[in-house]
Amino acid sequence: MQTFRYDDPVVARFPTIHTALVHATGLRNGPSAPDLQQAYGAEQRIAADRLVATPVAQMPSIAAWRRVFAGFGARPTQYRSAAEALLRRVARHGDIPSINTLVDLGNLVSIRHALPVAVLDLAGVAGPITVRFATGSERFTDLGAADSVAPEPGEVVFADRDDVVCARRWCWRQSAQSATGPATVEALVVIEGHHQTADRDVSDALADVVALLATFQPAARVATYRLSAAAPASGAPGRPADRYRSSSASSRRAASVTPNAIITRK
- DSSP string of the chain, one letter each residue: ---EEE-HHHHHH-TT-EEEEEEEES----SPPHHHHHHHHHHHHHHHHHHHHS-GGGSHHHHHHHHHHHHTT--TTTS--HHHHHHHHHHHHS------HHHHHHHHHHHHHT--EEEEEGGGS-S-EEEEE--S--BB-BTT-SS-BPPPTTSEEEE-TTSBEEEETTTTEEBSTT---TT--EEEEEEEE-STTHHHHHHHHHHHHHHHHHHH-TT-EEEEEEEETTB-EE--TT-PPPEEETT-HHHHHHHHH-----EE--
pLDDT one-digit tens code per residue, 138-195:
999 999 898 999 999 999 999 999 999 999 999 999 999 999 999 999 999 999 999 9
In this prediction, residue 251 has a pLDDT band, given cuts at 50, 70 and 90, of: very low
Tell me the whole-structure pTM to 2 decimals. 0.89
Q: Which of 49-63, 72-86, 132-146, 233-247 has the lowest mean pLDDT?
A: 233-247
